[in-house]
Structure 1
Amino acid sequence: MRNVTLIQIFDHPIAQKYLQRSGIAHAVSVAFHAYRLSVKEGVDPDLAVKAALLHDIGHYEWYTDGEWDFEQYKKNDIHAIKGAERAHKLLVRLGEDRQAAKEIALAILLHTDSYLPDGSLSQNPLQKVVKLADEMDEEPDGKHHYRRISEQTARKKIQELDQLIEQRKRPLKRTV
């Protein structure tokens, strides 16, 4: 039994605010990539999909003269740090298991190295899945954040992911 579903996360006003800012279409797409990768890699799909859905909720909007400024974003961004904090607080508030909330927050923190000094980073399998899922959906100059999806379609896709995760968590019944 899951403490918190994706649709509960998606419906929360804090998630709505920051998912709108960072791009719902991107968040949903990364969540699907994370689901497929987690199944393939033996990672808990519930944790992977939650981290993927929330991975960019720390984004700040970098604009210069009313236009998106990708160079300012690259130079000044710490969205993974802010996003890990926001996600952790949101998940705990919704009733997520505290250890699970911590693992999800750490996967969000480590989904990018854009804010880290040069060097290698050691990641666990969950963190690797979320990072790879994000990379699979990226477009040049951050354009993936501006793809559009209707709220109805996003809800349908998130409910589909919830169903896929529930099916994987249920033990198989013997029919013979």
Structure 2
Amino acid sequence: MSRLKDLRQYVDKKLNKMEDEDKRTSAIAHLYGVSLAAQMIAKKRGLDPELAAMAAMLHDMHAYKTGSYDDHAHLGADYARKILTKLELTTPEETDIICSAIYHHDDKLTVDSPMDEVLKDADVIHHCVNDLSKPIKEKEQARFDSLMKEFGMTK
């Protein structure tokens, strides 16, 4: 079995324990949507799509576990490190790359490492196109506009 498939099985088991069906459905849709976007962005930019997808699958797990988004990126990086260490799916270097991306994914107005940027951009894509009736958040607008140009898309 692939590492990504193993990680998804672990994440699915955790998410399926969420009692609120709407929140569970939303969480699954978000993590899988961001994961797909991260794979595509990473591949286009010459980065490892598997690591990008793994970071995306874990990026909001702390928030889903606790029900709180307070400092969820930083706390989520620690939680992801525990999961990856437990599952033994990644090298220490790969774990650092994934956890850095999770740690920085909420800092949409700053530029960090290339893989950090992949996760931020994938998160923005999902936020902006998952529900087209919602306005784009101000902190995500410039990043979304840049992504549309990068992918040759118009609004």
Same fold (TM over 0.5): yes
Encode CA deviations 1:139-176: one digit per residue, 9 max, x unaligned: 549xxxxxxxxxxxxxxxxxxxxxxxxxxxxxxxxxxx
Q: Secondary structure of the residue that 1:58 maps to in structure 2?
A: helix
Report sequence identity in percent.
33
Between the aligned partners of 1:81 and 1:110, the Cα distance in structure 2 is 7
Encode CA deviations 1:107-145: one digit per residue, 9 max, x unaligned: 00111128xxxxx6341111101000001011549xxxx
Please say if residues 58 and 81 of structure 1, whose CA atoms lie closer than 8 Å, have aligned partners that are also in contact.
no
Equivalenced residue count is: 120
| Counterpart residue number, 2:6 | 8
Higher RCO (CA-CA < 8 Å; seq separation 6+): 1
1:100 to 72, 94, 97: 94
Gap runs ≥5 in structure 2: 19-23, 136-155
Encode CA deviations 1:46-93: one digit per residue, 9 max, x unaligned: 11110011111121325xxxxxxxxxx5xxx21111211111111121
TM-score, with structure 2 as normaliser: 0.67
Root-mean-square deviation (Å): 2.5
Q: State whether structure 2 residue 114 is matched by structure 1 residue 125.
A: yes
Q: Which runs of 4+ in 1 moved over 2 A?
A: 14-22
How far did 1:94 drift? 1.2
Asked which structure has the greater CA Rg, the reply is 1
Between the aligned partners of 1:9 and 1:52, the Cα distance in structure 2 is 11
Question: How is 1:1-176 mapped onto 2 (pairs within 5 angstroms)?
Answer: 5-12=3-10, 16-17=13-14, 23-59=27-63, 60-62=66-68, 77-95=70-88, 96-113=90-107, 121-138=110-127, 139=131, 140=134
Name the structure with the higher helix share. 2
Between the aligned partners of 2:29 and 2:48, the Cα distance in structure 1 is 23
